[in-house]
Structure 1
Amino acid sequence: MTYAIVNIQGFQFKLIENKYVYVPHFSRKLGEKILLNQVFLFSKKGVPLLGTPFLENIQVKIEILQHIKGNKIIIFKKKRRKGYQIKNGFRPFFSKIKVISFLEKKI
């Protein structure tokens, strides 16, 4: 199995070819293809390549499929015996991406 661990907007995701992943919102258009070059680890046929901190010769090509809102997150604040209660919530934005391929450059 071929996979890569990639940095996307400060978060690390394990990407497998032809699989879907929900990541923090990309401000790009739907159907746009992007090359990710911040690859921490790349494994092909059980042989891992580890970057310091990134691998220079590996890129991941992804496609943006959908922009969606996640489940509601509730923020509740309370101070006991003071009559203070605040309830807030929000729905975070996510982008659904598909991994198209892993591009390996020959050195």
Structure 2
Amino acid sequence: MYAIVNIKDKQFKIVENEYIYVPHIEANIGEKILLNQIFLFYKEGRLILGNPFIEKISVKIEILQHIKGKKIIIFKKKRRKGYKVKNGFRPLFSKIKIISFLKNS
């Protein structure tokens, strides 16, 4: 059983009782959230496609921790002009656990 969901405008394949890292979600650690933007749901040979989303199914997740990713370097240079700029940043991620798939009535 798995689903393809939309989290912060990115698509993720999620499986029940697994952990994934997603872009930072503005919620406290330990908080449980319902996701309702599901593109695809697969269970026991049955495939349900949304148009664009499935309205009958939602996913319950729990926020486990907020972390920073590896540093990403941005380097700009214009040749023969003496122009060089080096910047970088560390993106924020949230570690989430997929608790269950819920059927809405």
- What stretches of structure 2 of length at least 5 have no aligned partner? none
Cα distance in 2 for residues equivalent to 1:105 and 1:43: 16
Question: Please, what TM-score do these two structures have when normalized by structure 1?
Answer: 0.95
Displacement of 1:4 in angstroms is: 0.5
Give the equivalent residue in structure 2 for 1:5. 4
Render the CA deviation track for 1:29-73: whole Å, top value 9, x for unaligned: 000000000000000013210000000100000000000000000
Q: Which amino acid aligns with 2:60?
A: K
Give the letter aligned to residue 4 of structure 1. Answer: A
How many Å separate the matches in 1 of 2:64 and 2:40?
Answer: 24
Equivalent residue, structure 1, for 2:32 = 33
The structural deviation recorded for 1:19 is: 0.6
Residue 24 of structure 1 corresponds to 23
Question: Take 2:40 and 2:67, find their aligned partners in 1: how far apart are those partners?
Answer: 28
Match of 2:13 in 1: 14
Q: Which runs of 5+ in 1 are unaligned?
A: none
How many residues align? The count is 105
TM-score, with length taken from structure 2: 0.97
After superposition, residues 1-107 of structure 1 pair within 5 angstroms as 2-106=1-105
RMSD: 0.8
Cα distance in 2, alignment partners of residues 77 and 97 from structure 1 = 35
Aligned-residue identity in percent: 70
Give the distance between the partners of 2:104 and 2:82, measured in 1 at CA.
Answer: 62
**Match of 1:56, as an amino acid?**
E
For 2:51, give the aligned amino acid: T
**Alpha-carbon distance in structure 1 between the residues aligned to 2:32 and 2:10:** 19
What's the CA shift for 1:105? 2.8
